A = this chain, B = another copy of it.
Amino acid sequence: MKKEKYALGVDIGGTNIKMGIVSDTGKIVFKTMLPTNRKGGPEEVLSQFKKGIKSILGEKKYKIKGIGIGAAGSVSSKKGTVSNPPNVPGWKVVNIVKIIKKEFNISVFIDNDANSAAIGEMLFGAGKKNNSFALITLGTGVGGGLIFDRKIFQGSTGAAGEIGHISIDHNGRKCNCGSRGCVEAYVGNHYLMKIVKDELADHKNSKILKLINNDTKLLTPIIINKAAKSGDKYAKQIIERVGYYVGSALSSVANLLEIDTFIIGGGVSAFGKPLTDSIKKTLRNNVLKVLKSRIKVSQAKLKNNAGMIGAASLVFYNLK
């Protein structure tokens, strides 16, 4: 009987640090969560972080092969550093891998959240059978992870995969990054909710408004999805359009890299099949002939625990 191996996956978010023991078949066997306590600055976050790891490594039932860390912001997996993570003021460049390795004498790996999620989907999720694919995370921002021949594509310093900053219109919407027409400026959660809020003025009868009691602060992708499922035309339009924008950006990715398989994750992917259908339709309309019949678009499988499982998967990916 093959004995399962385990890794500790750590998902550093702005609000919480989630930690889980994950098996080499992708199952979470133990998990815990601590607040990020950002006010204390990087020192305090690191101290909590260590405390959490210490307690979880105490779970002697599981032989843990290593620690994987997924973090938002600018991560160098080669150097082991996290730079300027959003929501942790005062944190400049911290070599978190070195610190944790030294403290616990165990293998430690790090990558940004989108790359971790892509590796997680490859080992345990929707990308298990694919040699090459792009993962797109539709959340507050739009991120991406590129897998070629079962390897993550990092770029020279780890900054590759910024699918959200593919421009679909050189004259288009202004993006926070300073450019125009980035797909993130159309479908990133903040931007999207603002667009919908503005447009609702012209859709007074939309079920969306009923579901939120006319309080647009309560607007979420889940609400829009609910309205669409109950037949609301405008809500369906929104989902169709998000798919069109995402599909437009991904068509450029497909043509540039000869990628035909796309996996959609993140909060906005709650739109489900109508979203992936719209993305697929747009891709098939726009990609070069050689790719048309090969295009596949599916939903990410790891869902809510993608962060933890993705982080843990860094250990299995790097140690195998």
List residues of chain A with CB under 8 Å of any chain B CB: 74, 131-132, 144, 146, 148, 153-163, 165-172, 177-181, 244-245, 248, 251-253, 255-260, 285-291
- Give the one of A157, A166, A167 with max B CB within 10 A: A167
C-alpha spacing A229/B290, complex, angstroms: 41
Residues of B within 8 A of A259 (CB): 155
In the bound complex, do residue A291 and residue B256 qualify as a contact, i.e. CB atoms below 8 Å apart?
no
In the bound complex, do residue B161 and residue A256 qualify as a contact, i.e. CB atoms below 8 Å apart?
yes
Residues of B within 8 A of A154 (CB): 258
Are A286 and B179 CB-contacts (below 8 A) given A252-B252, A256-B166?
A: yes
Contact of A162 among B178, B181, B245, B255 (CB under 8 A): B255
In the bound complex, do residue B256 and residue A160 qualify as a contact, i.e. CB atoms below 8 Å apart?
yes
Contact of A257 among B155, B178, B245 (CB under 8 A): B155
In the bound complex, do residue B256 and residue A167 qualify as a contact, i.e. CB atoms below 8 Å apart?
no
Are A170 and B248 CB-contacts (below 8 A) given A74-B290, A165-B288?
A: yes
Are A168 and B165 CB-contacts (below 8 A) given A74-B290, A179-B286?
A: no
Contact of A258 among B132, B155, B166 (CB under 8 A): B155
In the bound complex, do residue B166 and residue A168 qualify as a contact, i.e. CB atoms below 8 Å apart?
no
C-alpha spacing A163/B257, complex, angstroms: 9
Are A288 and B162 CB-contacts (below 8 A) given A132-B156, A169-B169, A252-B167?
A: yes
Residues of B within 8 A of A178 (CB): 285-286, 289
In the bound complex, do residue B256 and residue A159 qualify as a contact, i.e. CB atoms below 8 Å apart?
no
Are A169 and B168 CB-contacts (below 8 A) given A258-B157, A289-B177, A290-B159?
A: yes
Residues of B within 8 A of A181 (CB): 169
In the bound complex, do residue B290 and residue A157 qualify as a contact, i.e. CB atoms below 8 Å apart?
yes
* The 7 nearest A-B residue pairs measured at CB: A155-B258, A160-B258, A165-B255, A179-B286, A170-B248, A162-B255, A166-B252
